[in-house]
A and B are shown apart, each in its own frame.
Chain A
């Protein structure tokens, strides 16, 4: 999920990767280029086709609220399935084993089911256009504006960072020029979202979802054929566990067993952080309050479809580790150097310091030597890197998936795999700018600049805001390219906002006593508190031990515990301020708060269409998977 996005992005844009000549991982052939070109043609065709069906505000910003549960559900889960997710979590699986799966299961499934079963009726019944729109109805304009402005800024900056990250990946994997990648992808996104609005973004997300499976599914299938199945994979990793991973036990294959102490698992996390920080605060914050994903479900054609969409999405989410985690584990035993020896991947910091100069030699031999000494690289491998020449350069954990693609996919299939990565990046950008456009138009422009415009005026503003958003994103992309320090702060925006926003929305939706001032202060002070914790650890790295409650904690643990403390702080502010201020009359909370809302009766449906049935099935599979990989 997005918390890992931070570390992945940070590592992907190592300045050395931009400065030095790096041999691309893959060489595309005309058939691969044709596959990629056809994808772009399809995306633009969809945009032009849908232009005629995006004339009103409801059509442009909410896709006409016409989506079926399947389309909304696939789009909901696809909006989160970007290429950085695929590459980053495959790299994390290589590094940490199946602990990385927590971000797909406990870090997603309970929240998705909660959204569908419990929260969706309130979002849907109040007919809001956005999450800040719900806050406006529940708490008034002040809390809504804080949420809207922070969300809009986050979306546009994240879009730029995403754009830049894509360009860097294309440079590393294919050797493409950075400006070329940024220009082509941003123009395509601006055209298809600007013309077709949310409907176009959703269509492309569903298309992307199919392409990702079509392009990435072959890697684990062929990898398992080569290792002799899952048991063969496990046997081969266990046989060389210490030299491969630096981990002496079989922690690589256990989700929960070794999380009783920070030091006993490769990720350096504790189960309390996983359950409360990741499974509750970060996961619920992202899947139930981040408008980027909630907007997809709000586009459903009725309440039942809106409730079913996240439940359908949860089944696909549980399956994603098959194309993400498994390739990472397979990479441990299957990736080879040109001479047939096992290829060991390392961190981006080591890759950066060991970059080759234009003559094919390591430019910083001392630094490279010191960096490699901290890895599991064999002495022979280290010597080979320092000697320079062909096949000497190191590859990072994040390149596990592209390397596996290159290993198995020939002409055409490789193009499909690369198309899946490009599609993932572009739909991520499209999601950012479409959500930005809606929040800008309905939650900032309309209440603060022009209250009584016509519907067509707001659609025009929406279209222009997409062009504006893409233009600013390009600016942000180049800003990040020339000032890498900014990246840390841009990426931290999500983790800083998410926990306080979750607190405000949960209390607003389930506690009639929560007041307008409490909502505003809970959000604002929660953001300040969360940002302060972030800056504290940034400026004083040893503070990590305090925030994550253990000297053995690693940065991943800091993310989850910071979110937990920010939520607790925000909750305390909301409770205290609410008890000191006057609440709204219950009659004004109809459609907004549990206990004050009469939910519409749903039409009777056959048992196999019942949302509770599918939710229970999802819970059973979720529980079984966690027990199986305990």
Chain B
């Protein structure tokens, strides 16, 4: 979007970052303690790599589209 203010991509970045951290955190917990709920292919540790991916993407968007960056 044009103009000043927070861009949609920043909101998306925040959302992905929060979700990524939560899911990655659970993935690490699951890898150490064991799964809370049995699902197929749990040996692939999906929450770790998917949560990690969301975290990285979220972080990139938060940094790149943080409010006020355009004015710097």
Contact = CB atoms under 8 A, between A and B. Distances in A.
Interface of A: 27, 29, 31, 34-35, 38-39, 42, 45-46, 49, 53, 64, 66-68, 71, 202-203, 206-207, 210-211, 214, 218, 222, 225-226, 301, 406-414, 416
Contact of B22 (A35, A45, A211, A406): A35
B54 A214 contact: yes
A42 B15 contact: yes
A297 to B, nearest CB: 15
B50 to A, nearest CB: 6
B5 A53 contact: yes
Contact of A218 (B2, B3, B15, B46): B46
A611 to B, nearest CB: 19
Contacts of A39: 15
B12 A210 contact: yes
Contact of A38 (B12, B18, B36, B54): B18
Contacts, number: 90
Contacts of A225: 41, 44
B20 to A, nearest CB: 9
Q: Chain A CB within 10 Å — which of B1, B2, B3, B41 has the most?
A: B1
Task: Decide if the interface of chain A is mainly helix, strand, loop or mixed.
Answer: helix
A273 to B, nearest CB: 39
Interface in B18-69: 18-19, 22-23, 26-27, 30, 35-37, 39-42, 44, 46-47, 50-51, 54
Contacts of A416: 19, 23
A218 B50 contact: yes
20 contacts: A38-B15, A39-B15, A46-B11, A64-B3, A71-B8, A202-B8, A206-B8, A206-B12, A207-B11, A207-B15, A210-B12, A218-B50, A222-B44, A301-B2, A409-B39, A410-B30, A411-B26, A411-B37, A413-B23, A413-B50
B16 A31 contact: no
A561 B18 CA distance: 48
Nearest to B39: A410
Contact of A413 (B1, B12, B40, B47): B47
Contacts of B35: 410
A445 to B, nearest CB: 28
A413 B46 contact: yes
A411 B54 CA distance: 15
A576 B5 CA distance: 53
Contacts of B18: 38
A413 B2 CA distance: 33
Contacts of B26: 31, 410-412
Given A66-B2, A210-B16, 6 more contacts: A46-B11, A207-B12, A222-B44, A222-B46, A410-B46, A411-B26
A432 B35 CA distance: 41
The list of the 5 closest CB pairs from A to B, nearest first, reads: A412-B23, A412-B26, A410-B39, A203-B8, A66-B2
A49 B14 CA distance: 15
Nearest to B36: A411
Contact of B37 (A207, A218, A222, A410): A410
Contacts of A218: 46, 50
Contacts of A71: 1, 8
Given A206-B8, A408-B39, A66 B46 contact: no
Contact of A35 (B1, B19, B39, B44): B19
Contact of B3 (A35, A45, A66, A407): A66
Contacts of A29: 36-37
A301 B2 CA distance: 8
A214 B16 contact: yes
Given A71-B1, A214-B19, A410 B11 contact: no
A409 B23 CA distance: 11
Nearest to B41: A222
B47 A412 contact: yes
A34 B6 contact: no
A412 B22 contact: yes
A226 B42 contact: no
A195 B26 CA distance: 35
A65 to B, nearest CB: 10
Contacts of B44: 222, 225
B40 A222 contact: yes
Contacts of B19: 35, 38, 214, 412, 416
